[in-house]
Amino acid sequence: MVAAAPVVCSFPSSKELSDALADFVVKAQKEAIEKKGRFTIALSGGSLPKQLSALAHKTGVKWNKWHVFYADERAVPLDDPDSNHLLCTNEFYSKVPIPKEHIHTIDTSLLDDMEELSDAYEKELIQEFANRNTARFPMFDLILLGTGPDGHTASLFPGHELLTEEDRWVAPIEDSPKPPPKRITLTLPVLNHAVRVAFVAAGEGKADIIKTILDKPEEGLPASRVRPVAPGQLYWFLDDGAASKLEYPKTPFKL
List the one residue from 178, 211, 225, 245 that touches ligand 6PG (CB under 6 A). Answer: 178
Our finding on whether 153 is near ligand 6PG (CB under 6 A) is yes
Helix (H), strand (E), coil (C) string for the chain: CCECCCEEEEECCHHHHHHHHHHHHHHHHHHHHHHHCCEEEEECCCCHHHHHHHHHHCCCCCHHHEEEEECEEECCCCCCCCCHHHHHHHHCHHHCCCCHHHECCCCHHHCCCHHHHHHHHHHHHHHHCCCCCCCCCCCCCEEEECCCCCCCECCECCCCHHHHCCCCCEEEECCCCCCCCCEEEECHHHHCCCCEEEEEECCHHHHHHHHHHHHCHHHCCHHHHCCCECCCEEEEEEECCCCCCCCCCCCCCCC
Q: How far is the CB of 78 from ligand 6PG (least distance, A)?
A: 14
Would you give the binding string for ligand 6PG spanning residues 19-48, x where CB under 6 A is met? Answer: -------------------------xxxxx
Distance in angstroms (rounded) separating the CA atoms of residues 93 and 115: 28
Smaller CB separation from ligand 6PG, 105 or 147:
147
CB of 230 to ligand 6PG, least distance (A): 25
Closest CA to 121 of 174, 66, 171: 171
160 vs 178 by CB, closer to ligand 6PG: 178
Least Å from the CB of residue 47 to ligand 6PG: 3
Name the closest residue to ligand 6PG (Cβ).
46
Nearer Cβ to ligand 6PG, position 48 or 75?
48
- Regarding 241 and contact with ligand 6PG (CB under 6 A), the answer is no
Q: Can residue 147 be called a binding residue for ligand 6PG (CB under 6 A)?
A: yes
Nearer to ligand 6PG, 44 or 192 (CB): 44
172 counts as binding ligand 6PG under rule CB under 6 A: no
Count of C-beta atoms within a 10 Å radius of residue 119: 18
Burial (0-12, 13-18, 19+ Cβ within 10 Å), 116: middle
CB of 200 to ligand 6PG, least distance (A): 7
Separation between Cα atoms, residue 158 and residue 176, nearest integer Å: 10
Comparison of 65 and 117: residue with beta carbon closer to ligand 6PG: 117
Which C-beta is closer to ligand 6PG: that of 88 or that of 195?
88
Q: Which residue from 33, 148, 168, 244 is in contact with ligand 6PG, where contact means CB under 6 A? A: 148
Among 84, 118, 187, 192, the residue binding ligand 6PG under the rule CB under 6 A is: 84
Which segment (92-100, 148-156, 214-222, 223-231) binds ligand 6PG by CB under 6 A?
Answer: 148-156
Chain residues that interact with ligand 6PG, rule: CB under 6 A: 44-48, 72, 84, 146-148, 152-154, 178
